[in-house]
Structure 1
Amino acid sequence: MSNDDIGVNPSTEPSFSALVDMALSRRTVLGGIAAAALVRQVDFSTPARAAGMAGPSLTFAEAPHSIGESHQVAPGYDASVLIRWGDKVLADAPSFDPLGQSAAAQARQFGYNNDFLGYCPLPAGSGASDHGLLVVNHEYTDSWLMFPGLTEKDGATKVTREQAQIELAAHGLSVIEIRKLNGHWRVVEDSAYARRITLDTAMAVSGPAAGHDRLKTKDDPSGRLVLGTLNNCAGGLTPWGTILTAEENFHQYFAGVPQGPEAAAHKRLGLVGKPEYSWGQYFDRFDVTREPNEPNRFGWLVEVDPYDPKAQPVKRTALGRFKHEAANVVVNANGRVSVYSGDDERFEYLYRFVSRDRVDLLNRANNRRLLDDGILYVAKFHADGRLTWLPLIFGNGPLNPGNGFHSQADVVIEARRAADLMGATPMDRPEDVETNPVTGKVYMMCTNNTNRKAEQTDAANPRANNVHGHVIEMVPAMVDGQPDHTALDYTWSVFLLAGPKGQGRYHPETSESGWMSAPDNLAFDPAGRLWISTDQGSAQATNNIPDGMYAMETEGPFRALSKFFYACPRGAEMCGPMFTPDGKTLFVAVQHPGENKGSTFDAPSTRFPDFQPGMPPRPSVVAITKKDGGVIGS
């Protein structure tokens, strides 16, 4: 979207890339444990094969690294569309009719712009890899690709009330039941688990902000019941079988210039009266001059139980409010859980929540309030390779009434400002953050930051105007041989610098097809290998490569040897990578195919995946399997 990055961060802390480059410049003089962790990388000066070592475990031949109208996958693999925008989710949903859409139909059909994918085995807790539920986020809508007669330039102003209602219904989540039969995945029709969650779905509010005056509106004077969730980007699975869905760029839906006591807080999150949507002219809740508290009810992590279609989703306010990307949950050796989440905007922060109580893996019902009590932290990166987690607790240091914080509710509602005052490190669009299930190391995608000025750099900082982004590896302190994701101190290093081979930093045997730009989401296969999806936005045309999936090892002599596995169709972003437990299926989300300059419903740049006259491009979930039935990547 054109105004994803308009929040205002007044922090004067050193930029994250400045720390990266200081660290790289000092790698030959640092000493001690922290320095060793910082430069903990294989010496790539001599290619491993030349040294007689065995080859990498990722043996697939790479997919074409070129932009096309359809998707492309590595040889020896099948990539099959599982479900598309407008397909049936609920049993009584009508068939998709692009010229006869309605809000009632869309509320029963698969939503738009699929992002996060969460695979939940059936039965619950079974580990089944051939039968399960797929939970899908629907992040946002492109009116000019959904409806005839619109363009990207005028879509926000010409959308009718009826079309706006369809857009509302196309947001949220879908829950579908899927089964693998004879090697092929299919949606189970008439499933008792099937569900659509939209902006009309009632959601509870829990945690420190529940019932606070800043969450109360005319329609909800209690401040405890919100209609819907929006701009659901990435997410995560919990060990007790629920999913966390992340509300990201919610600012772009609200019309009106903020006034009154919430004006500064709204500005910090990018609400400046320049919405991407027409909703504010039709619905009071999306006009901040009429409902100034409504934006405070978004920007949270929302917990959803996919196994119970009647379970009410819950906005977990203890995990903080910002533009969430991802919600990776880790169980520590002491039973407490940690949740990692990035704030996807230039110069924003990395957060972590640690629960007060211990998880009960034998009785999932006992975890219903586990995420309501605990400590929210924000990360501060040091140039010597240390990372410190700063607690965002009311009364801690500057988080006091003198700075406008009167309770923990204020701290979580204004998590960004709290992080500013605590001295967190601004980063280059921290997006997905996940833990390697084999090593326990944590990886963060920093997608890019083209706003960093030259004067913010020095001779050791080559990443000003960070067009291509990078990947950070974080190592928790070890306790009894196990990574402690509750520890206050970690170490960190730069795992990968994205960009063309002459500008990026990869394993030297990375091919011309293996370079990437704008790392966004990630997944780990059961062997602990890293899979990265990309989101170049409008730079796709400049870079002249598609968005897609890249795979690499994180340990050993082939660490960071990037290989290109799957290419999205023209204009599409790669989202939602998710493996089945056996590693034999990779689900991916092809978001906004045809979303490039000049493309419209009437004349799209691609008609993926149907390629039929009159059918617009349709965001789709794709199931990738190996033709011989083997493990993905082998």
Structure 2
Amino acid sequence: MSETTARKFTLLPMLGHTKGKRSAVTCALKCDNACAGDVCNTSSNSYFRDIASATMSRRAALGFGAAGALAVVLGSAITSAEPALAGGPGLAPAAKEGFAKSKLTFTPIAPVDAAVDAFTVPEGFTWQPVIRWGDPIFNGTPDFDLNNQTAAAQAQQFGYNNDYTDIVEIPDTKGRRAVLFANHEYTNESIMFPATMPAADVRAVGAAAHGLSVVELERKNITKPWTYVKGAPLNRRYLNNTVYELTGPVAGSALVKTAADPSGGKIKGTLGNCSGGTTPWGTILSGEENFNGYFVSPGTSASDKRYGLTSKATARKWELDDPRFDTRNAGYENETNRFGWIVEVDPFDPTSTPKKHSALGRFKHEGANVIVADSGHVVAYMGDDEKFDYLYKFVSAEKYRPGTTAADRAHNMNLLSAGNLYVAKFTGNSPLAEITGTGAVPADGSFDGTGEWLPLVVDGASAVPGMSVEEVLVYTRLAADKVGPTKMDRCEDVQPSLHTGKVYVACTNNSDRGKPGKEGATEVNPRNENRDGHIVEITETGDQTSTNFTWNLLMVCGDPSTGDVTYFSGFPVDQVSPISCPDNLAFDSVGNLWISTDGAPSGIGKADGLFKVTLEGAERGKVEQFLAVPREAETCGPIVHDNERTVFVSVQHPGEEGSFADQHSFFPDYVAEGATPARGQVRAPRPSVVQVFRG
């Protein structure tokens, strides 16, 4: 097959097998057709069932206690740790005033047809992009030219397919300046470049469109929308040649040394970045997820198979230009071990060296989200985004310093370099016969139970027999298999609430659950061939450093109007917006949960969107759709500044199934219906960060 033909991605194993609006093209480019291949987790460990007894009930859950809650507030570049307040377990003042009482009020929109190429918002709101693929970010950067992109230009422009996004205000600017961080998960060269573009140039520009971006924003006042500032001093692109420092126990290990880096501590580039998180000390975390699709490997070892590495040519063929992307080359056998980590960057220091933290384990990280426990230790929650893989937790060895001096911040920026790593095991409290695989609620009225965090690394020592600390952290999936955690339905974003300390896990879907030879429904994953996903709610027993927890399901997603069996914590199913495939999570200032989706309501052909969910009170479980993204797009990186009545999302892969000659979307550069595009106006989809505001 020629490189030109390969660029068109005509070989799509998932064609005809995707669910809902999920595109086979997305499967090929984003996760290397993971669902078409063998399940990576073939371990024999399985869900431990427990029958209901008089000594265990969902109402026997211990309270969260006095666990710390982080006040993440727009208006401070470095967020702070605040103690929990008396009068309610872990409740911040805004939460005690009522979870539903937010300044961001809206009338929910109706589901939007998936074929509609429009960005849809509630009545009374408007939208505009903050920054788009190709927008120049440095002085002297050429303007975006769709027909004449070069690697040199793209390296100075905003990257493609932005996913995790955050906006953090620059102190002492009275709310008028901020930094925006976005990562760039993957590229779709087939719609980015004309067919006449030489294949080598396609590879080079596509590579430069990966990585991370930091740009400064400005606005006239807090009632006005943000615009990005070209040439601002904090602007930065992180590219495939950017050097990252590997921290923690694996740094310098023989398992990560290569011919190009005999030190085993300096890694070029970051790949497959998905979700992330913002730390209390003002840095950004980003998760390396589907890195396997960028490498050619022998594909024969247990670790290769467990991480989905194969000997087939990659879609982008970077291995033709750089020997490290073919680990069969002498000296590069360990290159894949240098990806699959949590990345940390300092958006306020463009000269700083970004880090990859080996202490948090290596797997397909959706992201990492941090909370400060009552003990002062930092706790990070992480999901491994693959069918039948696991949920993890990291607890720092050192404690967080709440001060704002340079020494305090320097100390905090090392907190993720050493600590304990755990993997979750869930136990249900309903009889086996009541978990039918349909999603029907057990007799006790909820899906719930207890759980424990199984140790992988504790106090600097391996807790996994037969594996060293370095082996546990490089081959974390294999290590976890040995201790018997619960196989989950693709844990994506994992967010601790800074109001209650409860932890929310977005399990996006698992089409293989219950199929022949695969694990069937469990109480924490209660639906076979789970196309729509669910949300797990965890309450730690004690503070966030505890090794025990209780859990329940907040929702079992779907569209009740089509006959789907759904559950919304007892809220009437005929009064919710249909929701499917939860992906990224966020909270507003009063503790409501916001969910962005990747694979809209299955079977009814609706667009992905952003949804608000009430967590407390009589309306717990109520789902309301706030926006819908354009044709073939995914909603990512939600940011909710409800006190300013503003919401931000990253719109990823609009028009994914088109081609350069036959574009399926023109987001965000639309023209009026029937109008002719202005001379030179871009007419191709451009993944963008979008702001939605009153107006």
Q: What is the aligned partner in structure 1 of residue 589 from structure 2?
A: 526
Cα 1:399–1:95, aligned 2, differ >3 Å: closer, same or farther? same
Q: What is the aligned partner in structure 2 of residue 113 from structure 1?
A: 161
Q: What is the correspondence of 1:568-583 to structure 2 with a 5 Å cutoff?
A: 568-580=629-641, 582=643
Letter in 1 for 2:410: A
1:389 matched to 2:428? The reply is no
Q: What is the aligned partner in structure 2 of residue 471 from structure 1?
A: 535
Out of 352, 365, 373, the residue aligned to residue 418 of structure 2 is 373
> What is the CA distance between 1:258 and its match in structure 2?
3.5
Which SS does the other structure have where 2:366 is aligned? strand
CA contact (8 A) 2:496 2:502 kept: yes
Q: What is the aligned partner in structure 1 of residue 471 from structure 2?
A: 410
Q: What is the aligned partner in structure 2 of residue 400 from structure 1?
A: 465
Q: What is the correspondence of 1:45-84 to structure 2 with a 5 Å cutoff?
A: 59-67=105-113, 68-84=116-132
CA contact (8 A) 1:71 1:568 kept: yes
CA contact (8 A) 1:330 1:338 kept: yes
Percentage of identical aligned residues: 42
Q: What is the correspondence of 1:317-356 to structure 2 with a 5 Å cutoff?
A: 317-356=358-397
Q: What is the correspondence of 1:476-625 to structure 2 with a 5 Å cutoff?
A: 476-478=540-542, 484-501=543-560, 502=563, 503-506=565-568, 508-509=571-572, 514-536=577-599, 542-580=603-641, 582=643, 584-596=645-657, 599-611=658-670, 612=677, 615-625=683-693
CA distance in structure 2 between the aligned counterparts of 1:100 and 1:367, rounded to whole angstroms:
44
> What is the CA distance between 1:128 and its match in structure 2?
6.2
Which SS does the other structure have where 2:472 is aligned? helix
> What is the CA distance between 1:35 and its match in structure 2?
5.1
CA distance in structure 1 between the aligned counterparts of 2:202 and 2:217, rounded to whole angstroms:
30
1:360 matched to 2:432? The reply is no
Which SS does the other structure have where 1:72 is aligned? coil
Q: What is the aligned partner in structure 1 of residue 43 from structure 2?
A: 11
Q: Tell me the alpha carbon deviations over residues 203-230 of structure 1, each in whole angstroms, 9 at most, x when there is no partner.
A: 1111011011111111111111111111
Q: Tell me the alpha carbon deviations over residues 314-340 of structure 1, each in whole angstroms, 9 at most, x when there is no partner.
A: 111000000001210001112110000
Question: What is the Cα-based RMSD across aligned positions, in Å?
Answer: 2.7
Q: What is the total number of aligned residue pairs between the two structures?
A: 582
> What is the CA distance between 1:453 and its match in structure 2?
2.3
Q: Tell me the alpha carbon deviations over residues 102-161 of structure 1, each in whole angstroms, 9 at most, x when there is no partner.
A: 1111110000000001222202xx6965431111010000111111229xxxxxxx9712
Which SS does the other structure have where 1:543 is aligned? coil
CA contact (8 A) 1:344 1:430 kept: yes
Letter in 1 for 2:456: L
**Unaligned stretches of 5+ residues in structure 2:** 1-26, 65-97, 430-448, 671-676
Out of 202, 206, 209, the residue aligned to residue 163 of structure 1 is 202
CA contact (8 A) 1:249 1:323 kept: yes
CA distance in structure 1 between the aligned counterparts of 2:588 and 2:140, rounded to whole angstroms:
36
CA distance in structure 2 between the aligned counterparts of 1:448 and 1:350, rounded to whole angstroms:
14
CA contact (8 A) 2:586 2:639 kept: yes
CA contact (8 A) 2:156 2:237 kept: yes
CA contact (8 A) 2:456 2:463 kept: no
Q: Tell me the alpha carbon deviations over residues 340-387 of structure 1, each in whole angstroms, 9 at most, x when there is no partner.
A: 010000000000100011111212122232111110111011113111
Cα 1:129–1:581, aligned 2, differ >3 Å: closer, same or farther? farther
Q: What is the correspondence of 1:76-95 to structure 2 with a 5 Å cutoff?
A: 76-95=124-143
CA contact (8 A) 1:83 1:622 kept: yes
Q: What is the correspondence of 1:254-293 to structure 2 with a 5 Å cutoff?
A: 254-258=295-299, 263-274=301-312, 275-290=314-329, 291-293=332-334
Which SS does the other structure have where 1:181 is aligned? coil
> What is the CA distance between 1:542 and its match in structure 2?
4.0
Between 215-224 and 304-313, the greater mean CA deviation after superposition: 215-224
CA distance in structure 2 between the aligned counterparts of 1:33 and 1:318, rounded to whole angstroms:
35
> What is the CA distance between 1:14 and its match in structure 2?
2.8
CA contact (8 A) 1:450 1:467 kept: yes
TM-score (norm 2): 0.79
Letter in 1 for 2:491: P
CA contact (8 A) 1:129 1:581 kept: no
CA distance in structure 1 between the aligned counterparts of 2:304 and 2:266, rounded to whole angstroms:
21
Letter in 2 for 1:165: A
> What is the CA distance between 1:13 and its match in structure 2?
2.8
Which SS does the other structure have where 1:371 is aligned? helix
Q: What is the aligned partner in structure 2 of residue 179 from structure 1?
A: 218
CA contact (8 A) 2:461 2:469 kept: no
> What is the CA distance between 1:459 and its match in structure 2?
11
TM-score (norm 1): 0.87
Cα 1:345–1:159, aligned 2, differ >3 Å: closer, same or farther? farther
Cα 1:554–1:127, aligned 2, differ >3 Å: closer, same or farther? farther
CA contact (8 A) 1:4 1:252 kept: no
Q: What is the aligned partner in structure 1 of residue 259 from structure 2?
A: 218
Q: Tell me the alpha carbon deviations over residues 288-307 of structure 1, each in whole angstroms, 9 at most, x when there is no partner.
A: 21122111000000110000
Cα 1:34–1:107, aligned 2, differ >3 Å: closer, same or farther? same
Which SS does the other structure have where 1:192 is aligned? coil
